Amino acid sequence: MESLECGTLEYCTPFFEFNAQRHAEVQVNAFWRRGDFLTFAKLEDRNVLRPTDDKNDRDGWREVEINEVRIRVDTSTVDEEGDLEIESIIAADVLPSVSSRDERRKLANVWTSGNRIFHTNKPARLFSLPNLMKEEVDDSSTDLETCKERFSVVLELEKKEYDQYVKWFYNSVEGDFTQVL
C-alpha cells in the first residue's frame, strides 16, 4: 500500500435503499456514505485464473429482468401443489430496511430491485413465468395470469419509483436536499 485517504470517496445510495428509506419515512442525502481510497503498487505479475461468479444461480436465487426491473426468486425449495400464490409479506410490499438482520427477510423468496418482497408457494414455476410475460405467448394458465396480475402492478410502481429516485439523485447532485422522499 502506498497511500490511504480516509473518507474521500462518495457512495451514492442505490435505488433499493432509496425505496426502503422512502417507505421508512427516512430522509438522507444521496451521498451520505464516505469510503476510503487506497493506492497500491504492483510489485510483480501473477498469472492466475479469475473465479467465475454466476449471479443467476447463487444459493438457489435466480434472476430475471422485465422492463428494467430485476426480479430474484429463490428456487432452492420445491414447488408445492396447487395454483400459484404470490403473497405479500408486509404492507406496500417494500421492506423499509436494508439490514441483513431484519427477520422479515427470511420470509421472502421473491425480491425485486425496488426492495419489494413476496413469498410464493411455487418458486420454480414463478421463475419461469416472467420470461413468458416478456413475450406474447398463448398461455392461459392460472399461474401466468396470477403472475401477470401481481407483476404488472409491481413493474408500473417500480418504474415510477425509479423516476422519483433519478429526480432525487439529480437534486442531490445540484445541492437541493429539500425535496421530500
Q: Is residue 25 part of a domain?
A: no
- The domain of 145 spans 55-163
Q: Is residue 37 part of a domain?
A: no
The pLDDT of residue 181 is above 50: no
* pLDDT (0 to 100) of residue 128: 85
Q: Is residue 73 part of a domain?
A: yes
Do the beta carbons of residue 16 and residue 46 sit within 8 Å?
no
pLDDT single digits (tens) 10-62 = 888 899 999 999 899 888 778 888 899 999 999 999 888 887 765 555 688 99
Domain count within the chain: 1
- Sign of the dihedral defined by the CA atoms of residues 100, 95, 167, 68, in that order: positive
Q: Is residue 39 part of a domain?
A: no
CA distance 27 to 178: 9
Q: Is residue 130 part of a domain?
A: yes
Mean pLDDT of 142-155: 88
Q: Is residue 47 part of a domain?
A: no
